[in-house]
Each structure stands twice: as C-alpha cells, then as structure tokens.
Amino acid sequence: MNSKTWLLAFPACFLVVAAMSLVPWSHAQEEQSLRPAAAFKSIENEEERSLALFQEAGKVIQHPRCVNCHPATDRPLQGANMQPHQPPVFRGNGGMGLPGMHCTTCHSAENISVVGQAETIKSIPGHPAWHLAPIEMAWEGKSLGQICQQIKDPDRNGNMTIDELVEHMAHDELVGWGWNPGAGREPAPGTQEEFGKLIKAWVETGAVCPR
C-alpha cells in the first residue's frame, strides 16, 4: 500500500470503527439498565402491569450472572456465553462442590483480581456464600414464564413465601453479587434495589406470570 492509499484508508477505518462502537453502546445501555417500577404505573390494567414488571425483572433473572449458578445439570456455567464451568466441577452437598474440589478450592469470600493474564480474564469471582442454587431451582434453558411459575412454587423456591421471595431478591447478598461480579464480568442490569422494587411491585399487582 503506497502512502496515498494509506491517507485514504485511515479516515475510512476511523469512521467504520466509530460507527461500530456507537451501535453496541446504545444497545448495551438499554440492556444494562432497568426501568424503575414507578414507570409501569401508566399501565392501567393491573394484570398487564404485573406482567410488564416481571418481564423487566426478567432482564436480571435471565442474565448469565444469575443463570450460571442456576444450571439444569450438576455442573455450573460460566462466562457471558454460559459455557460449562472449567475446570469441570459438580454440585456436591449443598451446592458447595465435591470432596477435593469444593468451590472454596478456587473461589474466595471476595472477587480476586488477577494480573498478567489475557484481556478476557480480569478476576476470579467470589463471595462468602458462594454455592450453586439447588437443582429444583434450575433456570437454565427455561422460559421466563416457566421460571416465574417456579419461583412462586415453595417446592421449587427453597420453601419461601412470596414475601420472603421479595426479601430474597431485594436483599440477599449472594443475589447482590450479580451487580458486583468483579473486573471483566458484566453486572446484572440496573441495581439490586431497582430489581427488588420491580419484584415487590410485581407481587403487589398479583404476581402474574408470562404464558
């Protein structure tokens, strides 16, 4: 490529890169935020409002930060693409791993930054309560409607009442890890407070589930 061609190529490349960076940015902004519960008051029909509230909360519930630890098998998932966990680890007692490979072999009480690694690996996730959700709480591969029925069912939600479910979603600290997942990991959309308010408003409007 001669110098004249370079002069033409540079501005063209710049425009393409700039355009590419704008499109995913706006998409990501929408995906990364939650509409506040109050924004749904304009929906007059209560059943429709309840449904809309849960669908908004579903952006969190179906996010990889949540589903990765609600797998359909005994093996957790990891990453934004929800691939099987490496190394291959399995549920074990209380979702804490099997003897010799408990979660705590690698996961700590906090997210641990790593250095000198590939750009795609910034930290090892951790939390004091790090463990898998019980198999009856598996969400992987389920529709939002199926998950909705599941989290209302005491046999499949850890025997929680609907009020306890609201409390769990709004204040449980391991749930809260989803918004503080450590460097290199996309947090769940919005904040736990916003999410808790959506769930509370959903319950107050009849806890209607998508079909």
Partner 1 sequence: MVTFTLNGTERTFNGDPDTPLLWVIRDFEKLTGTKYGCGIAQCGACTIHLDGMPRRSCVTPISMIEGSDVVTIEGISGKEAEAIKTAWAAIDVPQCGYCQSGQIMSAVALLQMVPKPTDDDINSAMTGNICRCATYHRIRAAIHAAANSMEG
Question: Contact positions toward partner 1, by CB under 8 A?
Answer: 86-90, 98-102, 104-106, 108-109, 112-114, 116-117, 121, 124
Between 106 and 144, whose beta carbon lies closer to partner 1?
106
Shortest spacing between CB 120 and partner 1, in angstroms: 11
- Spatial distance between the Cα atoms of 40 and 38, rounded to a whole number of angstroms: 5
Between 108 and 180, whose beta carbon lies closer to partner 1?
108
> What single string gives the DSSP state of each residue in 143-181?
-HHHHHHHHH-GGGTTS--HHHHHHHHHH-HHHHHTT--
* Tokens 């700039």 found at: 18
Shortest spacing between CB 128 and partner 1, in angstroms: 12
Q: Which helix (H) or strand (E) holds 98?
A: strand 97-98
* Tokens 């449904």 found at: 51
Q: Which residues contact 172 (CB under 8 A, 6 or more apart)?
A: none
What is the DSSP-derived secondary structure letter of residue 187?
Answer: P
Shortest spacing between CB 123 and partner 1, in angstroms: 9
Between 2 and 120, whose beta carbon lies closer to partner 1?
120
Between 177 and 202, whose beta carbon lies closer to partner 1?
177
What is the DSSP-derived secondary structure letter of residue 6?
Answer: H
Shortest spacing between CB 119 and partner 1, in angstroms: 13
